[in-house]
Amino acid sequence: MPQVSKIYDPVKYKTPTGSRLNCKGWIQEAALRMLLNNLNPEVAEKPEELIVYGGRGKAVRNVDALDSIIRCLKTLEDDETLLIQSGKPVAVFKTHKDAPRVLISNSQLVPKWATWEHFDELEKKGLMRFGQMTAGSWIYIGSQGIVQGTYETYAAIADRHFGGSLKGTLHVTAGLGGMGGAQPLAITLNDGEALIAEAEEWRVDKRLTTKYLDEKWHDIDAAIQRAVDARKKGEAVSIGVVCNAVHLLERLCELNVIPDTLTDQTSAHDPLMGYWPHEISPEQAKVLREHDPRKYVEYATRSIYIHVQRMLELKEKGAITFDYGNNLRAMALEYEKNNPAGLFGFSPLARRSPDGKAGRLFPGFVPAYIRPLFCEGKGPFRWVALSGDPEDIAVTDEVVASLFPENRSLQRWLRLAKEKIQFQGLPARICWLGQGERELAGLAFNELVRCGKVKAPIVIGRDHLDTGSVASPNRETEDMPDGSDAVADWPILNALVNTAAGASWVSLHHGGGVGMGYSIHAGMVIVCDGSKEADERLKRVLRNDPGLGVIRHADAGYDLARQTMHKHQLGLPGNEQ
């Protein structure tokens, strides 16, 4: 990792709160507060390294760039736009009041050079940084940002496989970082029992502190026995075990303990910075990572290969197994391609994947459970109270509940979120809203600001794991019926239309969630500042943003998306296809 020229100081870069402006307008102020909130030690995984989550997902390139961005935001006029190139400010241009105040491009590489090896060279030279998804979009809100989507996934699993409830079922996974840390709470909110491996004890402790995790264990066998007993009792409890994922799965296989579901949410997309090899200790791995990164990647990818083989072994014994979007399957297949098949006494993965596609090993969570929601324009709608006052979120919770009284899943989520979700940094909330619903919620929030029912403006954003913002053939766009998995026009169109519609800031990224060469994705944030002009921007952005996703899925051949498109009068005028 390149050394930053200055040290990140959490006191110096404390997130402003309240109703006093530090910038020349609330949109600039929102960008400033959300950037600093991303780096808040309550929110970020490694703020001292500017890493927000996901192995090496950073909010800015270095501390010099952070200082420069802050200066620019504080002087930026209401008709100017700041341009950010992979975490570094490069220009301020005259635009207009409805244009985005910030435009961000992260980690874009010409396709032939879109590899981790080339990215690493550029990063070492200080020319680029990895933005992940919401880290580089300045809209990360801690583990809450993914927990509701994970909750929706496990709710769909409950409906599909277990009669609507996860009670009395055991769900095994790994990874308790900024994304994976949502898993234990999402499972227990659905009344299930979670057993989760995490190699770094401090991550386990962080999830205990924020109440996303219930228990910590060091002895693998004891943790497995605790999980077996909890399943028998129907106890909704989450158990974190400090160990490598491979070691946990090996013991499950040896003991013939078969989980009801099995997945993984380590940062396997980034074998150098995001995945711990099982053959050496984390302490040894840290030294190797620093002094011989090539050897480290060899260790990590070999572990990933064994990891997937163990998952397949448990799958063949009856565990419902799925990929949770970290590119684990593709990394294992790539390792096998570069090494003798049948390594370690396993049958080659290709034998279990006849056409060589990663999705054939076991399905990804999007095609298996989430895609019907995408077809209705549903996705992760998140909002943040710039005031810093949790009461503002309580007010918005009431408004969302009153807008959609018939949505029982949403009502249950809002109730559980109030009880179970601990705020990290600026108070925030997330829920999944569909086409038409996001626009209604945005306008209602803007009215709250206008009438003074909240103490400062509200920021609306989303994850990039959304209906029309990502091209990712091993995750969001896996197994599209027309074969358009790798078509990346859609996220680029998403960024363009959100820019044209007047989003407050817009970003276009490469590689988030699955790594270099595997995805292109776009982010959008819009500010409710209480103005009439904001009403018009909200109408455009919150209709167009999910609307393009509905059109994308209709174009791929999904009947549900076509029905949604016609219901909301999206697409081409007069098009009756």
**At what angle are helices 408-420 and 390-403 packed, to 10 degrees?**
170
In this structure, the number of other CB atoms found within 10 A of the CB of residue 573 comes to 5
Contacts of residue 398, defined as CB under 8 A and 6 or more positions apart, other chains included, come to none
177-193 b/e (C-beta count within 10 Å ≥ 16 → b): bbbbbbbbbbbbbbbbb
In this structure, the number of other CB atoms found within 10 A of the CB of residue 411 comes to 14
The residues facing 483 across adjacent strands are: none
CA distances from 458 to 42, 191, 252, 400, 461 (A): 20, 32, 46, 14, 10
Cα 530 to chain centroid distance, Å, stands at: 29
d(CA 268, CA 175): 10
Catalytic residue among 72, 243, 375, 431: 431
Q: Give me the amino acid identity at 345.
A: G
Q: Is 23 a catalytic residue?
A: no
User: Rounded to the nearest 5 degrees, what angle is found at the Cα of 429, between the Cα atoms of 412 and 543?
Assistant: 95
Residue count of the chain: 577
In this structure, the number of other CB atoms found within 10 A of the CB of residue 7 comes to 8
Token pair recorded at residue 164: 């609507």
Token pair recorded at residue 250: 């090996």
Token pair recorded at residue 168: 């009395």
d(CA 354, CA 376): 33
User: Rounded to the nearest 5 degrees, what angle is found at the Cα of 162, between the Cα atoms of 361 and 175?
Assistant: 50
Contacts of residue 414, defined as CB under 8 A and 6 or more positions apart, other chains included, come to 397, 400, 401, 431
d(CA 497, CA 549): 12
User: Rounded to the nearest 5 degrees, what angle is found at the Cα of 50, between the Cα atoms of 48 and 81?
Assistant: 145
Token pair recorded at residue 158: 């409950």
Helix, strand, coil shares of the chain as percentages rounded to 5?
A: 45, 15, 40
Write the DSSP assignment of 151-177 as a string of letters. Answer: HHHHHHHHHHHSTT--TT-EEEEE--S
The residues facing 105 across adjacent strands are: 85, 508
Token pair recorded at residue 63: 């501390």
Token pair recorded at residue 219: 């002895």
Phi and psi at residue 50, to the nearest 5°: 65, 15
CB 477 within 8 A of CB 471: yes
d(CA 119, CA 511): 11
State the catalytic residues: 431
